[in-house]
């Protein structure tokens, strides 16, 4: 199981890096177009809930595929693995990244500020993942949505000339997506399956 997880992490690096590059391209457009932070905030609060629903779907599906699939554990793991880790990916890492770059950043937590949207979508993702445990396409969409949500957190809640910082933003986008998304979709649910090895593909 450990070897499989390591291989999954290695295999995700190119796709995650490509996703981070698309994020940088979008950020350049936002900067050149002088997009108002309120628009970025609106986009962030759209992408973050969508990220949560796909994360909940994949996390729950992975748990069900590699365990006995009991409902209550699936709900608990699907919720904490999606809302908790999506908050780290979309909010905490961008905030810390901007702060480390000496950018004036506001701190926002999506599942608290938009609890009426994020939490129901998390449970919707859990239900979908439990009833139809498919993972490949939702996981890919999860990675891209997480990248773009993290990106728009920077432009929504950070005020600075971003162009000189783009190489550093790329690094933080990569970190914000690669490990947290693989953690929530792969490692986190497998911790609770009780299976040391499996012949099935993880994702």
Q: What is the arithmetic mean of pLDDT over 62-78?
A: 90
C-alpha span between 164 and 155 (Å, rounded):
14
More confident residue, 48 or 58: 48
CB 57 within 8 A of CB 176: no
pLDDT mean over 168-180 = 91
29-58 mean pLDDT: 95
Nearest to 175 by CA among 142, 150, 203: 150
Quick one: pLDDT at residue 136? 67
Model confidence pLDDT, tens digit, residues 177-203: 888 877 777 778 878 876 554 445 566
Using a pLDDT cut of 70, give the percent of the chain over it. 91
Percentage of the residues of the chain whose pLDDT score is greater than 90? 65
What pLDDT shows up at residue 201?
55
pLDDT score at 1:
62
User: Per DSSP, which regions of 41-193 are E strands?
Assistant: 104-105, 158-159
Record the pTM.
0.90
Taking 90 as the threshold, does the pLDDT of residue 67 lie above it? no
**CA 11 from centre of chain:** 17
**Parallel, antiparallel, or unpaired: how do β-strands 158-159 and 104-105 relate?**
antiparallel
Q: What is the mean pLDDT of residues 57-80?
A: 91
């Amino acid at each position: 199981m450990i070897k499989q997880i390591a291989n999954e992490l290695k295999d995700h690096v190119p796709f995650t890096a490509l996703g981070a590059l698309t994020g940088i391209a979008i950020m350049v457009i936002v900067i050149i177009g002088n997009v108002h932070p309120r628009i970025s905030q609106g986009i962030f609060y759209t992408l973050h809930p969508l990220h949560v629903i796909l994360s909940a779907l994949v996390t729950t599906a992975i748990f069900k595929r590699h365990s006995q699939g009991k409902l209550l554990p699936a709900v608990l793991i699907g919720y904490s693995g999606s809302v908790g880790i999506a908050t780290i990916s979309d909010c905490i890492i961008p905030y810390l990244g901007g702060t480390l770059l000496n950018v004036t950043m506001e701190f926002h937590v999506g599942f608290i500020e938009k609890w009426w949207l994020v939490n129901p979508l998390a449970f919707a993702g859990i239900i979908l993942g439990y009833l139809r445990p498919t993972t490949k396409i939702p996981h890919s969409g999860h990675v891209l949505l997480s990248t773009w949500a993290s990106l728009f957190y920077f432009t929504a809640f950070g005020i600075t000339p971003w162009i000189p910082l783009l190489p550093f933003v790329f690094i933080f986008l990569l970190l914000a997506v690669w490990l947290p998304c693989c953690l929530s979709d792969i490692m986190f649910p497998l911790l609770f399956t009780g299976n040391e090895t499996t012949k099935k593909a993880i994702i």
